[in-house]
Chain A
Amino acid sequence: MIFDSYEAYRAANFTPKVCILGSGPAGTTIARKLGAAGVPVVMLEAGAREFGDESQDFYRGTTVGDFYFDLDITRLRFMGGSSNHWAGWCRVLDKQDFEPKTWVPDTGWPIRRTDIEPYLPEVRDILDLPAFRPDMPISDDIRWVQLIKSPAVRFAEKFGDELDKARNIAVVLNTCATELAGDGRRVTGARLWSNGQDAGSFSADYFIVCTGGLENSRLLLWSNQRSNGGVVPNATALGRYWMEHPTFQGGNAILADYAEFEVDAVNEAFFSPTAAAMERLQIMNFGIRLIETPYPGVKNLIADLACTAPNMAEWMSSKLSQRLRCAAQLYVAWEQAPLASNQIELSKTDVDRAGVPRIELHWKKSEMERRTLLEGLRLFGTTLIEKNLGRVRIADWISNGQDYPTNDETAGHHHMGGTRMGTDVTKSVVDANCKVHGMDNLYVGGSSVFCTSGQCNPTTTITALACRLGDHLSKVVTA
């Protein structure tokens, strides 16, 4: 059932056991899992069926530190959430992403990749994915990683009819929780806002916060402040360890045979370090994306090489005459070291229309990441030489130690951390089952529970974790 307002929902006299906040990939997946298990669920979606400026305005905020996107353009506030603008690249976090990195503090998850692997067949169905493919090592240091492409499933489009017909799932549009109330053990209720006005209080046995990698922290920070710590009793890490995937053009490569790595419809290929290489160089995970360079760019690149290595340039020139596609731009996306100082705070001066403080995001890239970028390109360049596959040129701004450019990709619009998973209550917010530490009936879904970010797009892992949480809650609620 889908309702366009809280008023309409109330008139239907539906009694939910579980309330899910947010209808993005995490919220929708958990709702479908619970619904399939016979658990009555209400899913509140702050926005409408389509994009709306008024709704989107609730996402405005500020960033302190490194350059970042405007916070109201980096996510979407309507049915289906940010699945409405994702590109569809899919990959589960690597096995080593779940393991602690002894050279980086606060890394390691309380679960392992094997804990989510049983859900991957379900994830494939949900995201309309082809089969996952194993990585292919090209040296002891570098793996050719196999990202697969979803048709970029829009969750509202794909599951809208199913949700509308479901008798034990109620989707309430234009309705959000502005705050949760809690007594330090349980969430006792929620304050709702619907269609531009206060809609009173609401209660359910269980609450699952799935409002996104920025909003989850915001809602919990505000709720906790309003209830004097009654919603997140151990709040030291709340809002902290926020992460993105910084993404910049790190250089270029001339390749002996570009087609050797041609793996997808848009002629891109991806490479990552092996676990051994990361440990040896004491760096984070990263992904290098090869994007075909247009012909004039190839000529310029070879001309540049000719100044340094004429014979090599001549060889490359001969390759160019044989095939026009022999060079690539190298885009590097990397894993950020989890830092408590990268955090979401509540603005002290600015509130949204419902009176909730807007986000002040504190985000800065660290020296460890700068080293990951440089050493990663060196590793890739060395591998191309060893395998006689080509040569790499590192971008001048990296070689010269200059600032990050502000006209580049910047980041992946991947919002992770803030309510991270863990066993230490001073460094995490939820446990291995995504339940808020110390609370009996409050759970968190989505990438805000990520402890570390790995190098790949998060939607696949978000969906797998949501399947796992849905299964877990089905058992808890029906016990």
Chain B
Amino acid sequence: MSFFIRKMSRRALVQALIALPALSLFRKLPDADASHADRSLADPNEIVEVNGWILKRSDLA
């Protein structure tokens, strides 16, 4: 690791450190997409229980 860092320019190192947090965002992107897709595909007639109410999912709109 120390050998690798010694070979990197200081500028490249800083750029890499800045980019690190963004990587996790990229990792989460597919999950977020799937969640959005679930919502759009959810059956509006599905029976759900919310706060004791027995409702159709479309009632929640």
Using a CB–CB distance below 8 Å, which chain A residues touch chain B? 251, 304-305, 307-309, 311-312, 377-378, 381-382, 384-385, 391-396, 399
Q: Mark B18-59, 1 if CB is under 8 A from A, else 0.
A: 000000000000000000000000000001011111111001
- B51 with A381: CB separation less than 8 A: no
- A308 with B54: CB separation less than 8 A: no
- B49 with A309: CB separation less than 8 A: no
Dominant SS at the B interface?
A: strand
Residues in A with CB closer than 8 Å to B60 are: 308-309
- A391 with B50: CB separation less than 8 A: no
- B52 with A396: CB separation less than 8 A: yes
- B55 with A311: CB separation less than 8 A: no
From B47, B51, B54, B59, give the contact of A307 (CB < 8 A).
B51
In the bound assembly, the distance between CA atoms of A394 and B53 in angstroms comes to: 6
In the bound assembly, the distance between CA atoms of A412 and B56 in angstroms comes to: 34
A379 to B: closest C-beta gap in Å: 10
Closest A residue by C-beta to B47: A382
A55 to B: closest C-beta gap in Å: 46
- A304 with B54: CB separation less than 8 A: no
B17 to A: closest C-beta gap in Å: 46
Using a CB–CB distance below 8 Å, which chain B residues touch chain A? 47, 49-56, 59-61
In the bound assembly, the distance between CA atoms of A308 and B51 in angstroms comes to: 7
B53 to A: closest C-beta gap in Å: 5
A206 to B: closest C-beta gap in Å: 54
Residues in B with CB closer than 8 Å to A377 are: 54
- A308 with B61: CB separation less than 8 A: no
Question: What are 19 A-B contacts defined by CB distance under 8 Å?
Answer: A307-B51, A308-B50, A308-B55, A308-B60, A309-B50, A309-B60, A311-B59, A312-B59, A378-B49, A378-B54, A381-B47, A382-B47, A382-B54, A384-B54, A392-B54, A393-B51, A393-B52, A393-B53, A394-B49
- B54 with A381: CB separation less than 8 A: yes
In the bound assembly, the distance between CA atoms of A312 and B59 in angstroms comes to: 6
Residues in A with CB closer than 8 Å to B56 are: 385
In the bound assembly, the distance between CA atoms of A395 and B53 in angstroms comes to: 9
B40 to A: closest C-beta gap in Å: 18
- B54 with A309: CB separation less than 8 A: no
- B59 with A395: CB separation less than 8 A: no
- B59 with A391: CB separation less than 8 A: yes
- A304 with B61: CB separation less than 8 A: no
In the bound assembly, the distance between CA atoms of A311 and B49 in angstroms comes to: 16
Residues in B with CB closer than 8 Å to A307 are: 51
- A385 with B50: CB separation less than 8 A: no
- A399 with B47: CB separation less than 8 A: no
Cβ-closest 5 pairs across A and B: A381-B54, A309-B59, A312-B59, A394-B52, A392-B54
Residues in A with CB closer than 8 Å to B52 are: 251, 393-396, 399
- B51 with A385: CB separation less than 8 A: no
- B55 with A312: CB separation less than 8 A: yes
A280 to B: closest C-beta gap in Å: 15
In the bound assembly, the distance between CA atoms of A381 and B53 in angstroms comes to: 9
- A311 with B50: CB separation less than 8 A: no
- B54 with A305: CB separation less than 8 A: no
Closest A residue by C-beta to B56: A385
Other 11 A-B pairs with CB < 8 A, given A309-B61, A391-B55: A307-B51, A309-B60, A311-B61, A381-B47, A381-B54, A385-B54, A385-B55, A391-B53, A392-B53, A394-B52, A396-B52
In the bound assembly, the distance between CA atoms of A399 and B51 in angstroms comes to: 9
Residues in B with CB closer than 8 Å to A304 are: 51
B48 to A: closest C-beta gap in Å: 10
Closest B residue by C-beta to A380: B54
B41 to A: closest C-beta gap in Å: 20
Residues in A with CB closer than 8 Å to B53 are: 305, 308-309, 391-394
In the bound assembly, the distance between CA atoms of A384 and B59 in angstroms comes to: 13
B52 to A: closest C-beta gap in Å: 5
B46 to A: closest C-beta gap in Å: 10
Residues in A with CB closer than 8 Å to B54 are: 377-378, 381-382, 384-385, 391-394
Residues in B with CB closer than 8 Å to A392 are: 53-54
In the bound assembly, the distance between CA atoms of A382 and B59 in angstroms comes to: 13
